[in-house]
Every structure is written in C-alpha cells, then in structure tokens.
Structure 1
C-alpha cells in the first residue's frame, strides 16, 4: 500500500498565555511581542514557518492579545511616512511583518485549559489536513530552520514528526518525554509519549520541544477534552493515542534552542542573535567584556 503524504501548508501558533514570568512588561503587551534584538518572538516563529513552506496561519489567542493580529496587518500610515521620508531600509524591514490577506486567522482560547485544548480550538482551521505547531517561546537558531528540518522528514515518512532533544533526567518532569524504538542517532521511532514523568518513571530523556508536525488523526482524541497532567488537556496524551496507527518519529534537530519563556533563556537569545549580526556583533562583544571580566 502506497503511503499518501499530503502537502503541509498550515500552522497553528498557540499564543494565549498570560506571560506571567515577564511581568510587569507583559501587563500591557503580549509576551510574544517581546523582541529578540529587533524582531518579536512571534515574528521568529512566522518566519520559520514560511521558510518551511507554510502558507496559512492560525493564532490561538486570548483576551488582550489583539496586537498580535495587528502586527501582521499592513500599516499604511507608517509605510507612507517612511516612503515620503525616503527611509527605504526601514520600509524594507517591515516586509516580513505582513501576511497575505486571508492567510491569517485567529481563534480565542477562552479558558486556559492547556496546549491540547488550544489546538482543539483550531479544529475548523485544521480540518482534515496535516498541520504544524510552533510555540513562539522556543526560538531555534540554526542554519536550516527547525521546522524545515521536520518538513524534510515528513515528506519522506509522512505521519507525525516531533522536534526532540535530550534533557537531564532530573528535568523530565518538565516535558513531554518519548518512549523510543529504532534510533539511528538522528531520527527516532516514537513508541510512546508520557507528559512530565518523574525522573524515575521516564522512559528516556528525549524531550519534545515546541515544534510539531501532526496529522488530523489527533483531533478526535483532543475533542474528548480529557484532562491529564496538571488538570489540563494535554496534547501529549492525544498524540500517544495515534501511535501505531500512522508513522511517528522524533527528529534530533540541528541547531540551538533558546527557551524564551524564561528570563535567562530570553537574555541568552538576545546575546546569541546579536553577536551574529554584522551591524551589532563587534559592539556587543566589546561591551560584554565589561561584564565578564
């Protein structure tokens, strides 16, 4: 039987969180609008998705998050002013902030019931199609965009593909953890998934990060809205139920992941991305010497 692989064109970006770790900054702005150098976190995720061939985007938002939608609109007044003042470099920088009309939708997650619930909120957008999930808190610095690496695997294997990385065993209770099958050192067969297991119960130390490619087969399981760890609807639990019915792989992606959901990871990302900029690198390295001795 020939495996039919549908083209991947859709991405869901859950952005409904309150961003409490970054208060008071996030009192009046979404966490996903916090910039790493001069691009907000949400822009990094959208740019990565576009580089992987994604054409349609769905933001899972909450109250007070409308600025995320506004950000990807056309700013006529600003663009006109920049053009009149001949600030063409600034005008060019705005290019990636616009998404084609009809290609961006937004759905409200009215209650904070977990990642699985957030994805379920996008059920009409997803339909019967495969879809990517990008969590903007995870910013991955790599030569080949992380989601593009997953798409290349998906186009070969079909089914479901997760970005995975090894974590210290004592930290397994923070992540979704894989039970592994065949493993060639890069691509690993997923035999099971456990959400936030205790270190002594973890089947491995391979953790999922915020990049997924899933088939619509997961949606009927999410629609049951069954509560798991933390009393939330866990995406990991629903994914575990489709294992064995379709190909399921984890990819040890190439690149460096920064957890911008916490302050240390966010500050590290600022440094890592700025020192690689031709216009900033030398200056950043110079001032860092003032603080590192």
Structure 2
C-alpha cells in the first residue's frame, strides 16, 4: 500500500544537474569542452534537460561543474555582442531562441574532485537547504513529448517520498545500472526494497534499472556526508539511497517512453538522428538522406 510521509514539503522548486564528469567516452572531443555541451542537432545536450525541468515548474537550477566547464555558464548567460549582431541583421526569431532560458535562476557550484554522483549531489546541499529536489542527468535525454518528470513530480506530491525513474533493460545490460528489487503497488509504481549498483546478471534483483531522473528529499545529505567510496572508488548515490530505504519508503516509477543514453557514443548518435527527424526544418531532407544511405548499403 502506498505510504505518504507527512513531515516533508510537497513543493518542488529546485533541480540539480551534475555536470562535473570528465566525459572520457567522448575523447578527444571532450578534452577541453564539456560533454554536456555536445550538440544534439542545434541545442547542447544539457539544454534538453533544463527545458524539461522548466516544463515541470522547477524554477531554480544548480549545475555542479568542474574544470573546463565554463562554457556551460556562458551558454546560459546573456550574449550581448551576438544579440546586437542578430538584431542588426533582423533575426528576431533567433534572438528569442537564445534568450528563452535567460530568465530562469541558474547557479553553479564547483565539484573540486570528480568523486562520483553521490559526491556531486552532496555539493548542492547549501543550495537545497531543507527542500525536496529533482536530479537530472543531462546525458539521459528524454524525448520532448514524454512526461516522465512531470509524472514523477505529481507522484511525489501524493507520496512525499523519494521517487526514482526506472526502465526495464535487457538482462545483459544490468551491469551498467543501479538495479532495484521491489513490490509493484500501482500503475508503474514500485515500493523499492533493495538497490544494487551495477550488479552482474546473476545477482541482479530484477531487470528494473534506475535512469537519470530522481526526486529526493533533504535527508539524503546526512547519509551522503557519511558515505565512503563504493564501486569505482566513487561515492555512489545508489548506495546512499539503499541506506535511506531503512529509514523511509522510496518508490520507483517505470518509464516506458523514449530515452537516449547520450553519454554513450551510440546512444548519442541515436539521439541526434531522432531529434533531427523531429526537426521541422531538417526532417524531410534528413529522412531522404538516411534512405539514400540505406539503399547504398544494400547494394
């Protein structure tokens, strides 16, 4: 039976974007440029996540950055010289596009050492204070028509408990994810009993993997502050949530829509193709090109 916590706010205003990783899968492209700024068609990867947060009513965003990440800050800032040039060229639509996100509150916190997702989240404690918050991993790109985070926000308001986004994955891929065991308690809703970070297929509790959308409560910070490095020598968020399970209910919400793991080269290419085919300016021409390439490969 779904349990509601009564001592936690149901107002969600804040989102954390961990973006301090080294992006080694995309070297040499990410040697001096953030992975989060890799373009998917005409927007950097991180902007898809920021727009998703805004569409859910989240009004304050903090991005956890590191060395060589300054271009993220520049991207979400005003570009006066560019705007002036566009204005003189009569390109009003482009001015509106580049300024669309300038009115939201975005802050930046430096993660001095890349010690894992759990450590990145703990860096945001001064920003979060005692409020619930969302975590968005920008390399998990969700189709713009999907309502995953909106559904999670609505579920949180009912339960006032942490909510993790889940997706069924092939058993051969469970070693790439945090995996949950739990009991189904509603349409796509699971009460989580156990969490294992990157298990082998024999020890995985299920095929339900945690993907890059979380809604967490501030009590996670005390656990993170006492956490020691786990797999890979990093402070794992999954390990901290496993300890949180002993203190309060934690739920998972099963996502069945389109998600792209753009932190992987193949996933990034799939995301690029997907959004190019959705782009009204490119769709017809790009589709024709893909069909032509496919015809040539069949010869």
TM superposition shift of 1:146: 2.4
Note the alpha carbon deviations across 1:97-129, whole angstroms, 9 max, x for none: 4244xx221111111211101111111111111
The secondary structure found in structure 1 opposite 2:71 is: helix
Aligned to 1:11: 15
Give yes or no for contact 1:161–1:214 (8 Å, CA) kept in 2.
yes
Note the alpha carbon deviations across 1:200-241, whole angstroms, 9 max, x for none: 111111000010000011110000131211221110011111
Aligned to 2:176: 174
Superposed structure 1 runs of 4+ greater than 6 Å apart: none
Find the aligned partners of 2:202 and 2:187 in 1 and give their Cα distance.
Answer: 23
Aligned to 1:76: 80
Give yes or no for contact 2:5–2:159 (8 Å, CA) kept in 1.
no
Q: CA RMSD in A?
A: 1.6
Give yes or no for contact 1:33–1:41 (8 Å, CA) kept in 2.
yes
TM superposition shift of 1:254: 4.0
- CA 291–183 in structure 1, closer or farther in 2 if over 3 Å, else same: farther
1:65 aligns with 2:69: yes
Find the aligned partners of 2:275 and 2:151 in 1 and give their Cα distance.
Answer: 20
Aligned to 1:42: 46
TM superposition shift of 1:246: 3.0
TM superposition shift of 1:245: 3.1
Give yes or no for contact 1:60–1:121 (8 Å, CA) kept in 2.
yes
Number of residue pairs aligned between Structure 1 and Structure 2? 291
Find the aligned partners of 2:27 and 2:138 in 1 and give their Cα distance.
Answer: 18
Alignment gaps of 5+ in structure 2: none
**1:195-214 pair list within 5 angstroms:** 195-214=197-216
Alignment gaps of 5+ in structure 1: none
The secondary structure found in structure 2 opposite 1:7 is: coil
The secondary structure found in structure 2 opposite 1:43 is: helix
1:21 aligns with 2:17: no
Normalised to the residue count of structure 1, the TM-score between the two structures is 0.95
